[in-house]
Amino acid sequence: MKTMKLYLIAIGLRPSHLTLGKVMQASLSSCLIGALSMLVAFSLASCSSEDEDYDASNLVGTWLRDYDKGVVSEGYVEYTFSRDGDCDIHVFDVFAGDTTIHRGYKLRDNRQLLIYEPTYGGAPRHETWNIKKLDSSTMSWERTDHPDIIYNFRRAVHQK
């Protein structure tokens, strides 16, 4: 009962002026304030930076793969995504030379990128990636079947 008196004093009711209606009114207002506080907290949490790190319209264009620090690359890999669902993967290797691989791609609503090899009559071979970040200058993928495989990219700038 002592706790109840302290609570009532804290919300502005004196125990001497206590009626059942005032207690219920105080309890209801406390619940309403608590509910509004939780609503504000959840709405702020839903505006996470994860949404800010993803804009599907940025995928179209040419991306240069970045390698982890300490990894020495003897060439480069470039992915070029077109608006019509084509993906050209250009690989330059110091020892093997230039190779361009033509693939198709599909960008799903759940931030998944499907890169597939078109085949005739059979099931296409494909890789599925979770897009972790995609903005105007950087992109990061995580392979769905091997989450430890992560590719990082930066927007390619070509000199003319």
CA separation for the pair 10, 30 (Å, rounded): 11
Quickly state the pLDDT bin for 68 (edges 50, 70, 90).
Answer: confident
pLDDT at site 160: 46
Residue 72: the pLDDT is 75
- Report which of residues 22 and 85 the model is more confident about: 85
Residue 48: predicted pLDDT: 47
Across all residues in the chain, what is the average pLDDT?
Answer: 79
Give the range among 3-17, 89-103, 108-122, 136-150 with minimum mean pLDDT.
3-17
Q: What mean pLDDT is predicted for residues 30-54?
A: 56
Residues 63 and 79: beta-carbon distance below 8 Å = yes
Q: Are 104 and 116 in contact, with CB atoms under 8 Å apart? A: yes
For the chain, the structural domain boundaries read: 2-47, 51-155
pLDDT exceeds 70 at position 39: no
Residue 135 has pLDDT above 50, yes or no: yes
Does 2.40.128.280 match the CATH number of domain 51-155? yes
User: Where residue 125 falls among pLDDT bands split at 50, 70, 90?
Assistant: confident
Strands 97-107 and 138-143: unpaired
Above 60 in pLDDT, residue 69? yes
Residue length, the chain? 160
